[in-house]
Amino acid sequence: MNQLTIAHPLPRTVDIDSLEDFDRRVAIALRAAEQGKPGGGSMAGWHVQSVDVSARGPQLKLLKPSGAVFLGCTLPSGLEPWLRARGALIFPILPGVPFDAYRGELYSPRELFAGVQETPYEQVPDAQIYAWAHTSLAPSTASLDATLAAALHDYSIGTALNQALKRWDPRKIVGIMGGHGAERGSDVYAQTARMGRLLAQAGFTVATGGGPGAMEASNLGAYLSREDDDAAQRALDTLAGAPSFRPSVSVWARAAWEVLEEFPNGVRSIGIPTWFYGHEPPNLFATDIAKYFANSVREAVLLDRTRGGVVFMPGAAGTVQEIFQDACENYYGSVANVAPMVLVGKKYWTEQLPAWQLLQSLSRERSMEPLVELVDSVEDAVSAVIRLNDRAHDAEASSQQG
C-alpha cells in the first residue's frame, strides 16, 4: 500500500504581536543561522500581526521570509515587493474600518469606552465599531472588504483569546449565563454579583457573555472578590444610581467607570460579547474582553472555553438557547469533555420556563447525568460547581485508568 509522505512538513506557527517579540524571534533566527542549524534564519510560520517593523529593514534583509505572514503591519519603505518575491504573504492594513482587523490582544474596558467620561457613548470606540458593523455588514449592503475585515478581526480575537487563556487553568474557568435585563439595584443583580465573587474566591475564573445585567453582575463580583463586603456594597450602591443601559448607555457606563476609578486593581475575568447585539453594550468589569462580530462564533467559543462548567441564572430566550447548546455538547461529549451544568432557581426553571425537565430527560443515562444540578441559591450553586468539578475529575481519571 502506498503511503502519503510529506517531504517538507508545515512549519510551526508562531504568533508575533509586538515589536519586542519580533526582535526576540529575529535574534533567535539569526543566531541559529550563524550556528549553521537547520532552518536558521528562516521566518517560515511567523504570523506577524499589527506590528510596526518599518525600522527593521536591515534585519529583515538578513532573514528568509518564505512562509511568513504579515497581517496589517507597517513595513519598511520599498521592502514589500522584496518580501513578496521571496515568498512572504502580506495582508495590507485595511482602510476605512474603525478597528484593527489584525489585533494581537484582547480588548480592555478602558479601550472600548475611551472618552466616555467626557463624551457620549455614541462617540467611543465600541459604539463607533458597532455603527460601522450595522451599516457595513448588513446582508443587503455588505461588501467583500467589510466581510473580510470582520472575519480577519474575529480570527485574530480568537487567537488572542487562546493566548490569554494560557494564564488560567482551563478546568477552573466557569461560565455564568443570565439575562441582560437584570437591573442594578435589584436582588437578582446583587445575588449574581455575590456568586461571581464567591466563585472567584474559590479559585475559579469567571467568564460571561460580557454584556450588561447578570453578565455584568458576574464580572463585577469577580472583579471585587479581593475587596471586603463593605467595598462590594459601595460599588453596588454606586451602580444602582444608573439601573440600566436604557435609556442612556453613557450614564450607565459612567457609573461603572466611577467604580473602576475607586477600585482600579480588580481580579481578572473574561467577557465574550458581540457587536451583533448593538443595543447591548459590553460591561466594564470584564478585564479581558474578546468581542466578536459573529454572534454564533462568540457563543460557541464561550461555551467551549468554560471547562469548569456553566451556571445558568434566570434568563429568557438567549439563556435557554445557551442551556441546550451546552447540553448538546455534553450529550455527545466523551467523559473527559463533559462539563458541569448548574441551573439556579428551581421554581423559575421548572415552572416559568420549564427547561429543567427536558434537561433531565436528555441527560438520563448519559455521561452528563451526574454533572447536572438544579439549585435555589447562589451559595448552593457555588458548592455545586466545586462538587461537580471534583466528580468530573474523578470520572475522567477512572475512564483513563479503564
User: With contact defined as beta carbons under 8 Å apart, do 112 and 249 qualify?
Assistant: no
* Closest by CA position to 189, among listed 172, 170, 214: 214
pLDDT of 192 strictly over 50: yes
pLDDT at residue number 382: 97
Q: Which amino acid is at 147?
A: T
In this structure, the strands spanning 205-208 and 173-177 are parallel
How far is C-alpha 319 from the geometric centre of its chain's CA atoms? Answer: 18
From residue 108, give the alpha-carbon distance in Å to each of 216, 271, 272, 283, 286: 14, 10, 12, 10, 8
* Closest by CA position to 270, among listed 177, 175, 337, 199: 175
Mean pLDDT (whole number) for 387-400:
87
Residue 112 burial (CB count, 10 A):
21
Residue 135 burial (CB count, 10 A):
11
pLDDT of 168 strictly over 50: yes
Provide the pLDDT confidence category of residue 232 given band limits of 50, 70 and 90: very high
Residue 38, C-alpha cell as written in the block = 537547520
Provide the pLDDT confidence category of residue 98 given band limits of 50, 70 and 90: very high
pLDDT of 10 strictly over 80: no
Please count the CA atoms within 13 angstroms of the CA of 25 that sit on its side-chain side: 24
pLDDT of 180 strictly over 60: yes
Q: CA geometry: angle at 51 spanning 47 and 56, to 5°?
A: 100
User: With contact defined as beta carbons under 8 Å apart, do 156 and 102 qualify?
Assistant: yes
pLDDT of 198 strictly over 60: yes
Residue 124: exposure state from Cβ atoms within 10 A (0-12, 13-18, ≥19): buried
* CB-based contacts of 152, cutoff 8 Å, min separation 6: 71, 91, 94, 101, 102
Full DSSP string of 215-245: HHHHHHHHHTTTS-HHHHHHHHHHHHTS--S
312-361 pLDDT per residue, tens = 999 899 899 999 999 999 999 888 889 999 999 999 999 999 999 999 99
260-308 pLDDT per residue, tens = 999 999 999 999 999 997 778 999 999 999 999 999 999 999 999 999 9
pLDDT of 3 strictly over 70: no
3-state secondary structure of 31: helix
pLDDT of 402 strictly over 80: no
Provide the pLDDT confidence category of residue 394 given band limits of 50, 70 and 90: confident
Ordered by where they begin, the domains of the chain are: 14-19+36-91 (no CATH), 159-401 (3.40.50.450)
Measured between alpha carbons, how far is 231 from 112 in angstroms, rounded to an integer? 25
pLDDT at residue number 95: 84
